[in-house]
Amino acid sequence: MSSQFATVAVVARRQRRNIADTVLAVEQVLEEHGVDVVFEDATAGFLPASDAARRTLPRKALGEVSDLVVVVGGDGSLLGVSRDIALDGVPVVGVNRGGLGFLAAVSPDQLDTQIGGILTGEFSIEDHFLLSATVQREGTDVARAMALNDVVMHPGTMARMMEFALWVDDSYVYDQRSDGLIVASPTGSTAYALSAGGPIMHPSLDAIVIVPMFPHTLTSRPLVVRGDAEIKIKVLRTADTAAELSFDSQVNVPLDVGDEVVVSKYAHPLKLVYPTGHNFYEACRSKLDWASRLGGQSG
C-alpha cells in the first residue's frame, strides 16, 4: 500500500462509451496496490456491478476523505473537478480519454506503470493556481465562480462586438472594442488564449495573461501582469444580445451593461500529479506538433 495515498477517489466523464472500461482498469490497479477506493456517486452509477459494494460519495465530498483523486476523461473533466475540490488541497491526476491532454497526462494503455508508479512514490506534483472572478452589479456581488484555465467575457453570440474598460490594480489600462476578452492563468495559456494569439506560459509562472479577442485596433496585444494583480473589467456596451462571463467554457454568467468583473488569483492552488518524467516542453512538442517539419518529417 502507498503510505501517501491510502484512499483514492475516482471521477469520470460519463458521456463517452469507452470510459467505463478505463475506470474499471483504474479500479483494478488501485485495488492491486491495496488502497481504499471511493467513487463519485454519478461515476459509480454507470459502472457494471462489482462483487463487492463500491463506496460512493458526491463529488464535492471526495476531497474530504481522499488522499488522491483520479479523473478519467479529458482536460475538460479535470477542469470541472478542480473547481470542486481545489479548496481541499487534494492532489489530482488525470487519465486522458479526451483530446490534447495537457493536464490529463496518464495514458490509458500505461495504467499499470503510471498509476502504479504514482502509488509507489514515482511522481511529481505541480501547483496550478486558479482564477476567481466576481460579478458586481450596482455595487452588489451577484455572482462568483472559479476557473483553472480562463475567465472569458464575450457578447454571447458569434461575430458581435462589445466595448469594455480595463483596470489592473486600480490603474486604468484602456477602453476597447472587440469580440471579448480572455483572462487566463498559465495553465490556460495553452487553451483558448493560445487560439486568440496569446503567449504560451510555463505552468510555474506567477502571472496572468489578458488577451483581447479580435480587437478593433491593430495595436492591441496580449498583456501579461503579475499573478497577484487584481483585474477589473467594466461592460460599457454590447450588441443587441446580453454579454456573458464564461469560466473554463463550462460555467456561464449573464452580464448587463455597467457590470464590473473583478478577477484575481484564488488562494488555494490545484495540485496536479504527473508520472515521473513528465516535462512541459515535451508535452508542447507532442500536443502542438512542435516536432513536425515541413514535408511531414520530424526530428
Mark whether 75 is an active-site residue. yes
What are the helix (H) ranges across 55-100?
59-65, 75-85
Q: For residue 249, what is the DSSP state?
A: T
Q: Round to whole Å and give the CA distance between 156 and 210.
A: 19
C-alpha distances out from residue 230 to 61, 165, 167, 174, 206, Å: 30, 14, 8, 15, 13
Q: Round to whole Å and give the CA distance between 140 and 4.
A: 44
129-147 burial by CB neighbour count: b if 16+ within 10 A, else e?
bbbbbebbeeeeeebebbb
Q: What is the crossing angle of helices 19-32 and 111-119, to 10°? A: 40
| Contact yes or no for 57/84 (Cβ under 8 A) | no
Q: Round to whole Å and give the CA distance between 193 and 42.
A: 32
Per this entry, what is the length of the chain? 299
| Contact yes or no for 298/291 (Cβ under 8 A) | yes
Return the closest-CA partner of residue 233 out of 149, 147, 150, 134.
134
Select which of 21, 41, 75, 256 is catalytic: 75
Q: Round to whole Å and give the CA distance between 212 and 221.
A: 7
For the annotated catalytic residues, the residue numbers are 75
